[in-house]
C-alpha cells in the first residue's frame, strides 16, 4: 500500500533478499546523513570515558600536533580542513594511537567525527613498505564502505597507502594475494576473502574496525560473519567498534567482538520543545487542511517550512497543490534513491526551495536546522495508529544550545486526530494552543 513506505535498497541487487526493511532503512538513513553532512554536529554533552585500566593516565588532546602523526598524515588531516580534534576525537585518538595498541568501543551520534578518527588510526598503523593488508574495516553496505573509502583516500592522499574494496560482485583470480594495505568491505565478502578464498591473510591484520555496528546487526548474518572474521585475527590485533546508537543488542555484540575494551560515549544532545511555539488548527478534511495552510502562508512570513504527511499519496498531492499556488516546493519520497534525496535536501538547505514536503519515513533522522516552521499536515502515528511522540519531538524539537526558536503547526481533521494531539500534549506536558486559521494574528 502507499502507507508502507519502505526505504529503497541501498545495496542495489547485492542486497540479501532476506534483509528486512529496518536494515534497509537504517543503512539508507546512515548513508543519507553522510551525503548531506559537511560538518561536525555540535554537542555540548560531556564525553564519558571508561578505561580498561583505570590506573593508566587519561590522555586527551586539543590539537592534532600533539598526536605526533607522520607528517604526511598530518598534512592529510589539514588538507581536509580540520583544525582541531572533535569532542570525541580528543579522547578517542590518543587511545587509538597508543602503544601498545588498545581496543575501543565508541558510541556517538553520526557526524561527531568517528569515521575520521578510525581512518586516522588505520592510516597511522600501516607500513606502506609491506604490500599486504594490514587494516580491515567492516561496513554494513557497499555504499557505506565507499563513503568511508573516500575519507581514507582523502586523508591518505599524501601517504603512499592503497585501498581495496571487498564487496560482493568483485571477482579476483584464484590464488590472488591482495597487495593493498587497507581492505574495506561488507562482512560476507571479507569473510570469504579471509577464509575460503585466502586473498587476505588475517594473521597479518594490525587494526580491525567494525563501523556502524547498530546498522550492521540489523542485517541477518552480519553479526556471525563479523565474529568469525574477528576470531581469525591475531591476539594483538587492535579492535575498534563504532556505533551511532547503543541499545542492548549493540552492546552485547560489541562485547563479543572487542575484548578488553576502553569505552567512549558521547550522549546525543537532547531535543526539547521548550523553544517551540506549538499550535493546532481544526479542519474538516484534507482540502480544508490545505486551505488552512494557504491562509497561514498568506498571513505570516515563512522563510522555510517542512511539511510532513503520512502517506506518499498525500505528500505528492499536497506538493502539487502548493506548486499550483505558486510556491517553490521540493518533495522527498520513499521511491527516490538516497542520492536523489540528498540532492533535494541540499537544494532546500541552500534555500533554492522554500517548502519541503515529505513523508515520515524519508525525513527521519534528517536535521535541517534553519527550518523555522514545521507543519504536521498529518500527525505522526505509529503503525498501530498510536501517537508517535518520539517522531513528533524529532520533527519539531530543537537541541538546547543550537536551537533557534521555532513554530510548529498541527493540522487536525477528526475527533480521532484530536485525541492523538491531546495525548502528545500530555506526553510532553507542553500546551499546544488552538489557532484559528482564518484569524492568524495570534501568532507572532
Q: Least distance to ligand ADP from the beta carbon of 256, Å?
A: 22
Longest alpha-carbon distance in the chain: 76
Question: Would you say 112 or 359 has its CB closer to ligand ADP?
Answer: 112
Question: Would you say 82 or 323 has its CB closer to ligand ADP?
Answer: 82
Q: Least distance to ligand ADP from the beta carbon of 247, Å?
A: 17
The cell for 96 is: 587509538
Task: Annotate 153-212 with three-state secondary structure.
Answer: HHHCCCCCCCEEEECCCCCCCCCCCCCCCEEEECHHHHHHHHCCCCCCCHHHCCEEEECC
Q: Least distance to ligand ADP from the beta carbon of 28, Å?
A: 15
Question: Would you say 110 or 314 has its CB closer to ligand ADP?
Answer: 110
Question: Would you say 94 or 113 has its CB closer to ligand ADP?
Answer: 113
How many C-beta atoms lie closer than 10 Å to residue 190's C-beta?
27
Q: Least distance to ligand ADP from the beta carbon of 113, Å?
A: 4
Q: Least distance to ligand ADP from the beta carbon of 240, Å?
A: 12
Question: Would you say 106 or 435 has its CB closer to ligand ADP?
Answer: 106
Number of H-type helices and E-type strands within the chain: 15, 17
The cell for 339 is: 542520492
Question: Would you say 89 or 359 has its CB closer to ligand ADP?
Answer: 89
Sign of torsion over alpha carbons 386, 387, 390, 392: positive
Length of the chain: 444
Query: Edge-to-edge, what's the strand order for the sheet holding 406-412?
Result: 329-332, 355-359, 305-309, 373-376, 406-412, 276-282, 433-435
Stated as kind and residue range, the H or E segment containing 132 is none
Give ∠ CA 140-143-147 in degrees, rounded to 5. 100
User: Whole-angstrom Cα distance, residue 145 to residue 170?
Assistant: 14
Q: Least distance to ligand ADP from the beta carbon of 41, Å?
A: 7
Q: Which residues bind ligand ADP (CB under 6 A)?
A: 37-40, 80, 82, 85-86, 89, 110-116
Torsion of CA 90, 94, 95, 97, to 10 degrees: 130
Query: Cell numbers 586523508 label which residue?
Result: 155
Q: Least distance to ligand ADP from the beta carbon of 338, Å?
A: 15
Q: Least distance to ligand ADP from the beta carbon of 152, Å?
A: 12
Question: Would you say 55 or 83 has its CB closer to ligand ADP?
Answer: 83
Question: Would you say 39 or 429 has its CB closer to ligand ADP?
Answer: 39
Amino acid at each position: 500500500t502507499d502507507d508502507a513506505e519502505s526505504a529503497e535498497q541501498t545495496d542495489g541487487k547485492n542486497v540479501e533478499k532476506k534483509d528486512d526493511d529496518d536494515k534497509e532503512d537504517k543503512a539508507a538513513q546512515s548513508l543519507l546523513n553522510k551525503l548531506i553532512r559537511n560538518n561536525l554536529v555540535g554537542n555540548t554533552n560531556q564525553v564519558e570515558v571508561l578505561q580498561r585500566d583505570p590506573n593508566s593516565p587519561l590522555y586527551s588532546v586539543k590539537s592534532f600536533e600533539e598526536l605526533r602523526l607522520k607528517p604526511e598524515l598530518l598534512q592529510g588531516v589539514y588538507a581536509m580542513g580540520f583544525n582541531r580534534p572533535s569532542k570525541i576525537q580528543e579522547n578517542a585518538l590518543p587511545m587509538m594511537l597508543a602503544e601498545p595498541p588498545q581496543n575501543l568501543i565508541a558510541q556517538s551520534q553520526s557526524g561527531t567525527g568517528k569515521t575520521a578518527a578510525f581512518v586516522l588510526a588505520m592510516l597511522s598503523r600501516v607500513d606502506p613498505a609491506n604490500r599486504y593488508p594490514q587494516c580491515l574495516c567492516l561496513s554494513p553496505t557497499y555504499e557505506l564502505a565507499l563513503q568511508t573509502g573516500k575519507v581514507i583516500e582523502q586523508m591518505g592522499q599524501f601517504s603512499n597507502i592503497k585501498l581495496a574494496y571487498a564487496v560482493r560482485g568483485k571477482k579476483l583470480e584464484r590464488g590472488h594475494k591482495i597487495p593493498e594495505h587497507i581492505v574495506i568491505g561488507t562482512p560476507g565478502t571479507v569473510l570469504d576473502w579471509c577464509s575460503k578464498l585466502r586473498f587476505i591473510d588475517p594473521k597479518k591484520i594490525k587494526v580491525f574496525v567494525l563501523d556502524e555496528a547498530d546498522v550492521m546487526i540489523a542485517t541477518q548474518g552480519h553479526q556471525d560473519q563479523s565474529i568469525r572474521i574477528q576470531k581469525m585475527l591475531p591476539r594483538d590485533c587492535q579492535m575498534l567498534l563504532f556505533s551511532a546508537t547503543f541499545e542492548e543488542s549493540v552492546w552485547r555484540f560489541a562485547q563479543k567482538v572487542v575484548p578488553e575494551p576502553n569505552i567512549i560515549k558521547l550522549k546525543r544532545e537532547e531535543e526539547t520543545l521548550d523553544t517551540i511555539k506549538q499550535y493546532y488548527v481544526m479542519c474538516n478534511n484534507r482540502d480544508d487542511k490545505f486551505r488552512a495552510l494557504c491562509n497561514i502562508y498568506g498571513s505570516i512570513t515563512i522563510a522555510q517550512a517542512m511539511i510532513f504527511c503520512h502517506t506518499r499519496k498525500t505528500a505528492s498531492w499536497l506538493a502539487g497543490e502548493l506548486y499550483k499556488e505558486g510556491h517553490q516546493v521540493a518533495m522527498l519520497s520513499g521511491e527516490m534513491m538516497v542520492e536523489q534525496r540528498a540532492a533535494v535536501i541540499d537544494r532546500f538547505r541552500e534555500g533554492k526551495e522554500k517548502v519541503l514536503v515529505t513523508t515520515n519515513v524519508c525525513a527521519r533522522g534528517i536535521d535541517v536546522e534553519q527550518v523555522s516552521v514545521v507543519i504536521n499536515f498529518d500527525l505522526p502515528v505509529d503503525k498501530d495508529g498510536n501517537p508517535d511522540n518520539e517522531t513528533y519531538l524529532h520533527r519539531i524539537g530543537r537541541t538546547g544550545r543550537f536551537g533557534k526558536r521555532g513554530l510548529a503547526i498541527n493540522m487536525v481533521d477528526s475527533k480521532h486526530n484530536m485525541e492523538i494531539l491531546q495525548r502528545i500534549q500530555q506526553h510532553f506536558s507542553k500546551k499546544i494552543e488552538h489557532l484559528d486559521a482564518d484569524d492568524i494574528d495570534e501568532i507572532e
